[in-house]
Amino acid sequence: MPDVHLEPHRHDIEQLRARLASSPDGLTDTEARVRLAHEGPNLLAEAPPPPLVLRFGRHLVQRFALLLWGGALLAMFGEHFSPGEGMALIAAALVTVVFFNAAFSFWQEMRVERAMAAFRGMLARRARVLRGGAEVEIDVADVVVGDVLVLREGDRVAADARLFEANALKVDNSPLTGESEPQLRMTRATTGARLDARNLVFSGTLVTTGTGAAYVYAIGNDTEIGRVAGVTRDTARVETPMRRELRHFISVISRIAVGLGALFFVTGWVIGNPFWTNLVFAVGIIVANVPEGLLPTVTLALAIAGRKMAARNALLKSLESAETLGSTTVICTDKTGTLTRNEMRVTDVLLGAEARPTSDDPAAAEQARLVMALCNNATLQGEGAAAVATGDPTETALLYHIEGRASGAVQDLRTAHRRVYERPFDSGTKEMATVHETPSGLVALLKGAPEVVVEQCTQMVDGEGAIAMGPEDAERFRQRSEEYARNGRRVLALACKSVGPDADLEEESTGGGYTLLGLVAMQDPPRAEVAVAVEQCRAAGIRVVVISGDHPLTVEAIARQVGIVRGEAATVYTGAEIQTWSKAALRHAVDAEEVLFARTSPLDKLRIVAALQERGHIVAVTGDGVNDAPALKRADVGVAMGKTGTEVAREAADMVLMDDNFATIVAAVEEGRVIFGNIRRFIGYVLTSNVPEILPYVAFVLLGIPLPLPVLLILAIDLGTDVAPAIGLATERAETDVMSQPPRPRSERLLSGKLLLSAYLLWGMFESAAGFAAYFWVLIRGGWVPGAELASSAPLYGQAIAAFFAAIVVCQVANILVWRTTRESVFKKGVLQNRTVVIGVAVELLLLVVIVATGIGHSIFGTVTPSLTAWLVPVPFALMMLIGAEIRKAIRRAAADAEAA
SS (H, E, C) 789-838: CCCCCCHHHHHHHHHHHHHHHHHHHHHHHHHCCCCCCHHHHCCCCCHHHH
Give the C-alpha separation, 533 to 242, whole Å: 25
pLDDT winner (highest mean) among 373-387, 438-452, 538-552 = 438-452
Would you report the helix, strand and coil content of the chain in percent, each value rounded to 5? 50, 15, 30
Of 674, 646, 655, 654, give the one whose Cα is nearest residue 734: 674
Could you tell me if 496 and 622 lie in one domain?
no
Share of the chain above pLDDT 70, in %: 86
- Examine residue 169 and state whether it is found in any structural domain, yes or no: yes
Residue 421's contacts (CB-CB under 8 Å, 6 or more residues apart) are 434, 435, 505, 506, 509
* CATH number of the domain residue 194 falls in: 2.70.150.10
User: Tens of pLDDT along 831-869?
Assistant: 888 898 999 999 999 999 999 999 999 998 899 999 989
**Under 8 Å between Cβ of 363 and 352:** no
**76 backbone φψ class: left, alpha, beta (φ>0; ψ -120 to 50):** alpha
Q: What is the DSSP letter of 188?
A: S
Could you tell me if 366 and 394 lie in one domain?
yes
Pick the range with the lowest mean pLDDT from 23-32, 278-287, 473-482, 720-729. 278-287
* CATH number of the domain residue 637 falls in: 3.40.50.1000
pLDDT at 360 (0 to 100): 57
> Is a pLDDT exceeding 70 seen at residue 114?
no
Last residue of a domain, one of 200, 234, 268: 234
Last residue of a domain, one of 477, 507, 523: 523
Could you tell me if 425 and 538 lie in one domain?
no
Q: What is the mean pLDDT of residues 758-778?
A: 95
Where is pLDDT greater, at 369 or 733?
A: 369
- CB 737: neighbour CB atoms within 10 A? 11
Query: Which one from 334, 462, 636, 718 is the annotated catalytic residue?
Result: 334
Going by their DSSP bridges, the two strands 345-351 and 490-499 should be labelled as: unpaired
> Is a pLDDT exceeding 50 seen at residue 260?
yes
User: Tens of pLDDT along 380-416?
Assistant: 777 766 677 777 778 888 998 888 766 568 888 898 9
Give the C-alpha separation, 226 to 158, whole Å: 12
- CB 479: neighbour CB atoms within 10 A? 11
Q: What is the DSSP letter of 640?
A: E
- How far CA 411 is from CA of 368, 403, 407, 495, 701, in Å, comes to 16, 9, 9, 21, 94
Of 648, 548, 544, 649, give the one whose Cα is nearest residue 604: 548
> Is a pLDDT exceeding 70 seen at residue 24?
yes
**Under 8 Å between Cβ of 249 and 222:** no
- CB 498: neighbour CB atoms within 10 A? 14
pLDDT at 113 (0 to 100): 54
Q: What is the mean pLDDT of residues 440-459?
A: 91
Last residue of a domain, one of 523, 558, 583: 523
pLDDT at 149 (0 to 100): 95
- Examine residue 246 and state whether it is found in any structural domain, yes or no: no
Could you tell me if 567 and 603 lie in one domain?
yes
Pick the range with the lowest mean pLDDT from 231-235, 483-487, 783-787. 231-235
The angle formed by the CA atoms of residues 464, 465 and 467, to the nearest 5 degrees, is 125
Look up the pTM and report it.
0.63
Identify residue 73 by its one-letter amino acid code.
L
Of 834, 686, 694, give the one whose Cα is nearest residue 758: 686
> Is a pLDDT exceeding 90 seen at residue 870?
yes
> Is a pLDDT exceeding 90 seen at residue 632?
no
Identify residue 79 by its one-letter amino acid code.
E
Confidence of residue 96 (pLDDT cuts 50, 70, 90): confident
Q: How many domains does the chain have?
A: 4
Could you tell me if 863 and 742 lie in one domain?
yes
Range of the domain at 657: 326-341+527-668
Confidence of residue 803 (pLDDT cuts 50, 70, 90): very high
pLDDT at 119 (0 to 100): 41
Q: What is the mean pLDDT of residues 111-133?
A: 63
Could you tell me if 600 and 644 lie in one domain?
yes
- Examine residue 899 and state whether it is found in any structural domain, yes or no: yes
Going by their DSSP bridges, the two strands 514-523 and 490-499 should be labelled as: antiparallel
Could you tell me if 576 and 651 lie in one domain?
yes
- Examine residue 256 and state whether it is found in any structural domain, yes or no: no
Q: What is the mean pLDDT of residues 418-425?
A: 85
Give the C-alpha separation, 844 to 805, whole Å: 12
Centroid of chain to Cα 535:
21
Q: What is the DSSP letter of 141?
A: G
- How far CA 768 is from CA of 123, 293, 399, 685, 688, in Å, comes to 64, 20, 76, 14, 10
Centroid of chain to Cα 470:
54
Bridge partners (DSSP) of residue 166 are: 212
- Largest CA-CA distance found in the chain, in angstroms, rounded: 124
pLDDT at 98 (0 to 100): 81
Residue 803's contacts (CB-CB under 8 Å, 6 or more residues apart) are 774, 775, 777, 778, 866, 870, 871, 873
pLDDT at 264 (0 to 100): 75
* CATH number of the domain residue 868 falls in: 1.20.1110.10
Mean pLDDT of the chain: 83
> Is a pLDDT exceeding 80 seen at residue 443?
yes
> Is a pLDDT exceeding 90 seen at residue 794?
yes
Where is pLDDT greater, at 516 or 111?
A: 516
> Is a pLDDT exceeding 60 seen at residue 236?
no
> Is a pLDDT exceeding 80 seen at residue 246?
no
Residue 620's contacts (CB-CB under 8 Å, 6 or more residues apart) are 325, 328, 330, 331, 332, 635, 636, 637, 638, 639, 665, 669
pLDDT at 525 (0 to 100): 84
Bridge partners (DSSP) of residue 379 are: 390
User: Tens of pLDDT along 317-327?
Assistant: 766 676 777 78
- Examine residue 70 and state whether it is found in any structural domain, yes or no: no
- CB 275: neighbour CB atoms within 10 A? 12
pLDDT winner (highest mean) among 62-71, 103-112, 180-189, 566-575 = 566-575
**Under 8 Å between Cβ of 677 and 52:** no
**Under 8 Å between Cβ of 473 and 458:** no
pLDDT winner (highest mean) among 215-219, 343-347, 532-536 = 215-219
**Under 8 Å between Cβ of 822 and 735:** yes
- CB 96: neighbour CB atoms within 10 A? 15
- Examine residue 363 and state whether it is found in any structural domain, yes or no: yes
What string of H, E and C letters represents the secondary structure of 38-84? HHCCCCCCCCCCCCHHHHHHHCCCCHHHHHHHHHHHHHHHHHHHCCC
Could you tell me if 784 and 764 lie in one domain?
yes
- Examine residue 369 and state whether it is found in any structural domain, yes or no: yes
> Is a pLDDT exceeding 70 seen at residue 110?
no
- CB 30: neighbour CB atoms within 10 A? 10
* CATH number of the domain residue 479 falls in: 3.40.1110.10
Of 705, 691, 695, 724, give the one whose Cα is nearest residue 816: 724
Give the C-alpha separation, 229 to 175, whole Å: 13
Could you tell me if 786 and 886 lie in one domain?
yes
Q: Does residue 628 have an active-site annotation? A: no
Confidence of residue 85 (pLDDT cuts 50, 70, 90): low
Could you tell me if 504 and 386 lie in one domain?
yes
Q: What is the mean pLDDT of residues 502-507?
A: 82
pLDDT at 332 (0 to 100): 93
Burial 873-894, CB ≥16 within 10 A → b, else e: bbeebbeebbeebbeebeeeee
Could you tell me if 425 and 473 lie in one domain?
yes
Of 580, 623, 642, give the one whose Cα is nearest residue 228: 623
pLDDT at 627 (0 to 100): 66
Could you tell me if 877 and 791 lie in one domain?
yes
Confidence of residue 200 (pLDDT cuts 50, 70, 90): very high
- Examine residue 306 and state whether it is found in any structural domain, yes or no: no
pLDDT at 104 (0 to 100): 65
